[in-house]
Amino acid sequence: MSGPRLRLLREPLGLVRGLQAFFSIFAFATVGGYGGAVSFRISCFGQSNVTVTAPFAYPFRLNEATFSPSLTGLCNGTWPRDLHLVGDFSSSARFFVAVAVLAFLASMAALGLYLGYLHLYRGAGGRLPLLDLVATVALSFLWLVSSSAWAKALGDVKTSTAASLPGCPQLNVTCSPAGVTPMGSLNVSVIFGFLNLLLWVGSSWFVYKETEFHRPAPPAATPTA
């Protein structure tokens, strides 16, 4: 790759695209790679304590997370059926991850276009920069919606996993929380989401400068005598 093309990576147009690809990876990795669990310690009169655990992970269908070992065999049938966590937050989580993956692919495609075909990009009569601007604005909007939706869903996930175990307290039965897996990486994912939003909104200015709307109009030709 020639020197002038590599220098584009140090210019705002190319540098921001590289940052977008980099931070979008962290956005979907912190959500898609998360796995946790909720645990309770159950004490029944005349029986040894038992710890039950409900694991959960992306895409955060908590209503499918079942406590193990089964509560139906504990405390003389206090719980007639298996218990699940509450809530299905898969739509927000999947939307956030899908936007992050789409943003990664779009930023890499744009970066490849800049590095390999910059002469065509700037010499296509303004069509390619205009399409680039439309895609950049659209992805900025998707980052805003998906990050906001995921931030709300994450708050609901924390509320659901912090709730008490249904069926407690009862006579001769004591349920106490035994711990929830920390969600620090999920908090970071929200930060990455809004950081990507800022990057895409900021890059729209640099793409706009490549369009014909920003370029000065060519001087009018003077008639010859």
pLDDT tens for 196-222 read 999 999 999 888 887 776 555 445 445
Whole-number pLDDT of residue 225: 44
Average pLDDT, the chain: 86
- Between 160 and 7, where is the model more confident? 160
Whole-number pLDDT of residue 74: 82
pTM of the shown model: 0.86
| pLDDT of 188 strictly over 90 | yes
Q: For residue 34, report the phi and psi dihedrals to the nearest 5 degrees.
A: -85, 145
pLDDT tens for 48-86 read 788 999 999 999 999 999 998 888 888 877 788 888 889
Q: What is the dihedral of CA 180, 181, 186, 187, to 10 degrees?
A: 60
**Amino acid letter for position 119:** H
Q: For residues 153 and 141, what is the distance between their CA atoms, to the nearest angstrom?
A: 18
Whole-number pLDDT of residue 22: 94
Given a contact cutoff of 8 angstroms between Cβ atoms, the answer to whether 37 and 56 are in contact is: yes
**Amino acid letter for position 193:** G
| pLDDT of 111 strictly over 60 | yes
